Structure 1
């Protein structure tokens, strides 16, 4: 159980670190091109480590097309939306609003499965929404004059993050290996982002400064290791324990932003809204 707790916090920290390092990469590279660097970077690392990581994992050929199909959307689409949101709104607002993913999962369960939310979930929904509104109303001068429609970017990322896991769960019923699911999904997503880069720029190799390339490679590895840590945490502990702990990543983002991005001012309004959103999501997951 202790290992599951440590892995869940590691997943949250690595995801937050990836959001902050994205800011450094965006100084030299646009979001779509950054995605064509970050996803393949982790995919390559995963492939190199696969003989060790995947040792003893079952192989079910029927599951290949399922996870490959999921990879055409996730994490490729999520990466595009997150990077674009990070550029427009910064890492704190991106992480806070992106953390609303469980709310979409609960809503989907209510609509498709007719599962009414419990009391704690209803309270959590209200708290999380109020916290998100509090953050979204912030107009820190460090973020420039962003427009409200930019909020659709992190909300879109939250929608993808909330809808995809139930689909992945269906795939895992066919092939019960989260590690293989992650690898196949990343290979498929890497193909998507590289093809998008090829169509846009005429080459899959991004012609960008090495500084930006380095930062997006670091970002991709942080994000990928976050996913692997989360899978490992779920493997060693119950989801009811792991999910609320992993949902605290906006708090890590606030701390890392204050330390690493000194030009970004963290206001009391942003901190209050972030804490409320994390608390609300935790109530939804626990409920």
Structure 2
């Protein structure tokens, strides 16, 4: 049960961080936002590192695995997603990006040999049915882009799932979710400064947008640590399915906290399905 609670916490914090990020991007550019939120995330981990990290951790080969996590996500996955968004638009891109939990389930079964029990299967069907309802749009989508572009957001979704696999494997060698989070965030921050630092706007960082991005970094940092805490306690299959709750939390926050969207009938049906799926996954434990 602890794994599921940590995974739900991660999903909620990722959704909340996305809302804060959207506020910051209203008056800022993405490059500045990425640099700020990653720097805050890494900074928080380093502030707490004396309480959780031992010196010999840095001498273990698994540190390179944790470093790869920071390269794949968010650096490489975000750039693939942004390129896909530029060609496909946000609707198709977000729908294809929602395949990340599916990749997580497949990686858990194929690579780690985890079992898809009847309870997990029922939960998976319910969760993916709910996500499909959230992604459904009326009307036909006009295609004016090359077919290969569709693989960009799919590859981004796969990399996000693969990063969770790397975390799971790495923490079996060194059972420190905190160290895994710190190394990944530090590498991602260094890459962000190297690739986007020249576009960093100091005046934006000192304004209202900077405050939103700081909150984003706190949320994403908490979410990433919660996710690693979940992965070390539970199976990749079930954690990946729980992470599919991010859109539900985003909708609730948008409707009731940030007053963005109304809750429609389709959303209610999706919520019922996903909640039922999460309950089925919980019963699996």
TM-score clears 0.5? yes
Runs ≥4 in structure 1, deviation > 6 angstroms?
A: 81-88, 113-116, 145-154
Deviation at 1:227, TM superposition (A): 1.7
CA shift, 1:184, in A, is: 0.6
Q: Does 1:27 align with 2:26?
A: yes
Residue 263 (structure 1) aligned with residue 260 (structure 2): yes
* CA shift digits 1:107-127 (9 cap, x unpaired): 335555787844445444444
Shift of the 103–206 alpha-carbon distance from structure 1 to 2, 3 Å rule, reads farther
Quote how far apart the aligned CAs of 1:225 are.
Answer: 0.7
TM-aligned CA distance change 1:14 to 1:267, over 3 Å: same
Do 1:78 and 1:157's aligned partners in 2 also have CA atoms closer than 8 Å? yes
Separation in structure 2 between the aligned mates of residue 161 and residue 120 of structure 1, nearest angstrom: 25
Change (3 A) 1:128 1:195: same
- For normalisation by structure 2, the TM-score amounts to 0.73
SS of match in other structure, 1:208: helix
Q: Does 1:182 align with 2:188?
A: no
Shift of 1:208: 3.0
Which of 269, 274, 277 is residue 272 of structure 1 equivalent to? 269
Name which of structure 1's ranges 147-156 and 47-56 shifts more when overlaid on structure 2: 147-156
Q: How does 1:198-217 map to 2 (within 5 A)?
A: 198=197, 202-204=198-200, 208=204, 210-217=207-214
Query: Structure 2: how far apart are the matches of 1:63 and 1:105?
Result: 21
Looking at structure 2, the residues matched to 272 and 57 of structure 1 have their Cα atoms a distance apart, in angstroms, of 50
Equivalent positions of 1:39-188 (< 5 A) are 39-54=38-53, 58=57, 60-78=59-77, 89=90, 100-109=99-108, 117-138=116-137, 156-188=155-187
1:226 equivalent in structure 2? 223
Consecutive unaligned residues of structure 1, counting only runs of 5 or more, are 140-144
Q: In the aligned structure 2, how far is the partner of 1:10 from the partner of 1:157?
A: 23
Question: Is the CA contact (8 Å cut-off) linking 2:106 and 2:237 kept in structure 1?
Answer: no
* Alpha-carbon separation, structure 2, partners of 1:79 and 1:4: 26
The answer for unaligned runs of 5 or more in structure 2 is none
Separation in 2, partners of 1:39, 1:147: 35
Question: 2:194 maps to which residue?
Answer: 195
**CA deviation digits over 1:93-145, x for unaligned, max 9?**
95x87564331123335555787844445444444443333222236xxxxx9
Aligned alpha-carbon RMSD (Å):
4.3
TM-score, normalization by structure 1: 0.73
1-structure distance, mates of 2:237, 2:112: 23
Measure the CA separation in 2 of the matches of 1:37 and 1:164. 22
How many aligned residue pairs are there? 275
Change (3 A) 1:40 1:231: same
Tell me, in whole angstroms, the C-alpha distance in 2 between the residues paired with 1:176 and 1:225. 18
Instruction: Note closer, same or farther for the CA distance 1:47–1:6 as it changes in structure 2 (3 Å cut).
Output: same
Question: Could you tell which deviates more after superposition, 115-124 or 254-263?
Answer: 115-124
Provide the secondary structure at the position in 2 that maps to 1:265.
Answer: coil
Q: How far did residue 161 of structure 1 move?
A: 2.5
CA distance in structure 1 between the partners assigned to 2:142 and 2:36 by the alignment: 26
Distance in 2 separating the partners of 1:146 and 1:55? 55
Quote the Cα distance in structure 2 between the aligned partners of 1:208 and 1:188.
Answer: 24
